[in-house]
Amino acid sequence: MDSIIVKGGTALSGQIPIAGAKNACLALMPATLLSDEPLTLTNAPRLSDIKTMTLLLQSLGAEVTSMQGGRVLAMSSHDLNNLTADYDIVRKMRASNLVLGPLLARAGRAVVSLPGGCAIGARPMDLHIAGLEALGAEIELKDGYLHAEARGGLKGAVIEQRFASVGATENIVMAATLAKGTTVLKNAAREPEIVDLVKCLRAMGAQIDGEGTDRIEIQGVDRLGGATHRVVADRIELGTYMIAPAIAGGELELIGGSMDLLPGFCEKLQEAGVTITQTNEGVKVSRANGRVHAVNVRTEVFPGFPTDLQAQMMALMCTADGVSDLEETIFENRFMHAPELMRMGANIDVHGGHARVTGVERLKGAPVMATDLRASVSLILAGLAAEGETVVNRVYHLDRGYERVEDKLGACGAVIERIKGE
């Protein structure tokens, strides 16, 4: 297994290109299952999760051709020949469950393995199931698989979600595009990835209103056509690299990024004393000399502070001037990075959904272990500010959601390298 070594203490300067969004692409790719015409995605990120989704779609009979070094995905599911999403693929990546809605809508039937456990929380699918059942599907759990059927096709309905789940919103919206009649989804998720998905579905001929608000209305149509769609920028990659100069010093410009994608996060970073400017090309971030201020953070659904940036923010607060309280409200077990940061000399007290971080002058390099995608990058960020060398192990977690971190940060002055494993 690869590991990454970071030597801290170098201020950063330069530009980093922000890739297309993993979490948008993982919802956009299953949209191909809704039509027998080609769907092409441009600005696709080069990530192991995209490869896993490609394998899943190919296992269902879709054609997925990766071009221009993975930046363009040409897809067609003209000849779907299998309606079962296998456990062996689904257990590798939960987002595989986003084929359930499209398969059900297009083929009237789907068999999708339940993803099973996850490091950051239980992550049940009850909201996906409740929404699709409201559209008339019959869903039964057998041998760890959801067996779903829509005899006579799906029918529009009014659905009010208990929680604004991103995945359930995506599955329900995709399914409703081919349902008979009107669907109104209340308490829908408002994340930019949902807005991007709806933009693509509309280009395929879907009739949808209200994306980006908590009420989405879908008029079902008989069939969808093809389209070409550019994947929106990755706001979590953007936020991660905005923290890099805040934690290590210096200034970075993040090309292709937009502050509009991260309202709640930008507010907190500015409160911590970090300077953020929207430029024509992207977002410029710098930190004046001295330590950032400690700020309290509470993770929330969009437009609030994203849970996927909580670990990175904790790394920053480890050397802040003062005490900060980080509250995680979305996932029940998302502080696995705290004990690793404490190995680097951080002062963190975790109680339930709260982590109290007392800033220290300086972190110290140490060998640490990545536990999940965002935790792994928070350890790399901490390494940029630490004295000496930090070795981050199990970076396969990182490769699921970040393209070539060591090259992007290395090009801006960071002393960082990947050690290839056996």
Q: Of 122 and 288, which CB lies nearer to ligand EPZ in the complex structure?
A: 122
The C-alpha atoms of residue 63 and residue 256 are separated, in whole angstroms, by 29
Tell me the closest approach of the beta carbon of residue 321 to ligand EPZ, in angstroms. Answer: 29
Active-site pick, 25, 118, 200, 266: 118
Tally of helices (H runs) and strands (E runs) in the chain: 14, 24
Tell me the closest approach of the beta carbon of residue 110 to ligand EPZ, in angstroms. Answer: 16
118 an active-site residue? yes
| 234 touches ligand EPZ (CB under 6 A) | no
| 165 touches ligand EPZ (CB under 6 A) | yes
| 307 touches ligand EPZ (CB under 6 A) | yes
* 3-state SS class at 177: coil
Q: Which two tokens stand for residue 98?
A: 């986003």
Tell me the closest approach of the beta carbon of residue 128 to ligand EPZ, in angstroms. Answer: 5
Site for ligand EPZ in 317-356 (CB under 6 A): 330-331
The single residue among 95, 238, 309, 313 that binds ligand EPZ, judged by CB under 6 A, is 95
Number of residues in contact with ligand EPZ under rule CB under 6 A = 24
What is the x/- site pattern for ligand EPZ, positions 401-420, by CB under 6 A?
A: x-------------------
| 168 touches ligand EPZ (CB under 6 A) | yes
The secondary structure of residue 224, as a DSSP letter, is: B
| 264 touches ligand EPZ (CB under 6 A) | no
The position carrying tokens 């393209």 is: 403
The piece of 10-18, 166-174, 256-264, 273-281 that touches ligand EPZ (CB under 6 A) is 166-174
Q: Of 91 and 123, which CB lies nearer to ligand EPZ in the complex structure?
A: 123
| 378 touches ligand EPZ (CB under 6 A) | no
The secondary structure of residue 318, as a DSSP letter, is: T
Site for ligand EPZ in 110-129 (CB under 6 A): 121-128
| 163 touches ligand EPZ (CB under 6 A) | yes
The single residue among 60, 178, 295, 373 that binds ligand EPZ, judged by CB under 6 A, is 373
Q: Of 253 and 308, which CB lies nearer to ligand EPZ in the complex structure?
A: 308
| 166 touches ligand EPZ (CB under 6 A) | yes
Residue 189 to residues 159, 193, 247, 376: CA-CA distances in angstroms?
13, 10, 31, 26
Among residues 171, 227, 234, the alpha carbon closest in space to that of 199 is found at 227
- Judge whether 133 and 125 are in contact, CB under 8 Å: no
The C-alpha atoms of residue 302 and residue 212 are separated, in whole angstroms, by 9
Q: Evaluate the omega torsion of the peptide bond into residue 245 and state whether it is cis, within 30 degrees of 0.
A: no
**DSSP 3-state helix, strand, coil percentages of the chain (rounded to 5)?**
35, 30, 35
Tell me the closest approach of the beta carbon of residue 374 to ligand EPZ, in angstroms. Answer: 5
Among residues 141, 193, 156, 252, the alpha carbon closest in space to that of 31 is found at 193
Q: What is the DSSP string of 52-116?
A: HHHHHHHHTT-EEEEEGGGTEEEEE-TT----EE-HHHHTT-GGGGGGHHHHHHHHSEEEEE---
Tell me the closest approach of the beta carbon of residue 401 to ligand EPZ, in angstroms. Answer: 5
- Judge whether 325 and 299 are in contact, CB under 8 Å: no
Tell me the closest approach of the beta carbon of residue 353 to ligand EPZ, in angstroms. Answer: 11
Site for ligand EPZ, rule CB under 6 A: 23, 26, 94-95, 121-128, 163, 165-168, 307-308, 330-331, 373-374, 401
Supply the residues annotated as catalytic. Answer: 118
